[in-house]
Amino acid sequence: MTNGNGTTLELIGAPTDIGASVRGAGMGPDALRVAGLPEALARQGFTVLDRGNLAGPATPWTAPTNGLRHLDEVIAWNRSVYAAVDTALGTGHVPLMLGGDHCLAIGSISAVAWHARKRRKKLRVVWLDAHSDVNTETTSPSGNLHGMPVSCLLGHGPAVLTGWSGERAALEHDAIRFIGIRSVDAEEKEAIRTLGLHVFDMRHIDEHGMRTTMTEALQDVGEDTHLHVSFDLDCLDPNIAPGVGTGVRGGPTYREMQLCMEMIADTGRLGSVDVVELNPALDVRNQTAEVAVELIESLFGKSTLVR
Ligand SMILES: [Mn+2]
């Protein structure tokens, strides 16, 4: 087992389903705590500060307006997330934003991008997901903002949700790598091609294996890189992770995901994490939260042998 090398991890709960299609993701942070996340990371030698849960507006479950659902509330939650992640990074801590649905990555990654730019670091985001989350208010079939965070971060979302990092785009198109993708809407396919996004879909993993895939995804990650992992639990196959709102068959296996996490840990450059879309209302005896905790342990360097 590794030791934490003096690193302080900060857990930031964002208990909301404000951008989701089904209810329940707001219980995600506490399910991760029940599954023992803080204790597991402390056992690895990290100092773990659990900041508790942020507060924000309730989810009204109203219909979309101009193609966007719950926009005001999404902004409010993301402002809180931005502020908490900004504070954590400002004190040299590694923030773990516990969602909540994936729209919260707008606030989280905008704060990360601002800090990376200030420190003249390259930013690399690894987006672990079944979906590419690159819809916009004009292409989204549902208006749910958890399907649009990537567009917002690339500067193509609604103006009120872009530019938070100090630049119109928090991320350049080549700063993000998608892993595990297997559900892409027709217009998203077009966007992926037009924007030139690097998407390692399930077929790529089938054909080349997780090892080659992650070697490609982590290429050029070096000393001067801030690595951010945005971990949507629906990336996992629903057989091992049933507790998600929008599960899609045919995801990576438990072992493939462990290898993915270990290879990220091996870079030594992990600087911030989102863990999102855990939906305890749809889970079975908290097993998805438990699998998440095991994978997060690997992400932070737990391995079977000393390597
Ligand atoms: Mn997602």
pLDDT tens digit sequence for 170-225:
999 999 999 999 999 999 999 999 999 999 999 999 999 999 999 999 999 999 99
Is 133 designated active site?
yes
pLDDT at 306 over 90: no
pLDDT-derived band of residue 307, with 50, 70 and 90 as boundaries?
A: low
**Cis preceding-peptide flag for 100 (omega within 30 of 0):** yes
pLDDT tens digit sequence for 63-79:
999 999 999 999 999 99
* 307 domain-assigned: no
Sign of the dihedral through C-alpha 278, 105, 127, 272: negative
pLDDT-derived band of residue 92, with 50, 70 and 90 as boundaries?
A: very high
pLDDT at 258 over 90: yes
In this prediction, what percent of the chain has a pLDDT beyond 70? Answer: 98
In this prediction, what percent of the chain has a pLDDT beyond 90? Answer: 95
Alpha carbon of residue 236 to chain centroid: 13
The alpha carbon of 283 and the centre of ligand 1 are apart by a number of angstroms equal to 17
SS3 141: coil
Alpha helices, DSSP H, located in the chain:
28-34, 37-43, 71-90, 105-118, 149-153, 186-195, 202-217, 254-267, 287-299
| pTM summary value | 0.97
Q: How far are the Cα atoms of 19, 58, 90, 171, 274 from residue 166, in angstroms, in the given order?
A: 23, 28, 16, 11, 21
If one compares 260 and 307, the residue with the highest pLDDT of the two is: 260
Can you give the CATH number for the domain in which 194 is found? 3.40.800.10
The pLDDT of residue 305 is 73
Is 185 designated active site?
no
The pLDDT of residue 4 is 75
pLDDT tens digit sequence for 25-39:
999 999 999 999 999
pLDDT-derived band of residue 303, with 50, 70 and 90 as boundaries?
A: confident
When the pLDDT of each residue in the chain is averaged and rounded to a whole number, the result is 96
pLDDT tens digit sequence for 210-239:
999 999 999 999 999 999 999 999 999 999
Q: Which of 181, 221, 227, 226 lies closest to 200 in space, CA to CA?
A: 181
* 105 domain-assigned: yes
* 304 domain-assigned: no
What order of strands is seen across the sheet that includes strand 8-14? Answer: 47-53, 8-14, 94-99, 270-276, 225-232, 122-128, 176-181, 198-201
Task: Catalytic residue, from 86, 101, 201, 234: name it.
Answer: 234
Task: Catalytic residue, from 86, 277, 283, 294: name it.
Answer: 277
The alpha carbon of 3 and the centre of ligand 1 are apart by a number of angstroms equal to 31
Is 220 designated active site?
no
* 1 domain-assigned: no
Query: What is the domain extent for residue 135?
Result: 8-299
The pLDDT of residue 1 is 43
Domain count for the chain: 1
Task: Catalytic residue, from 73, 101, 201, 232: name it.
Answer: 232
Q: Lowest-pLDDT range, 5-9, 88-92, 96-100?
A: 5-9
**Whole-angstrom Cα distance, residue 270 to residue 136?**
29
- Average pLDDT estimate for 138-142: 94
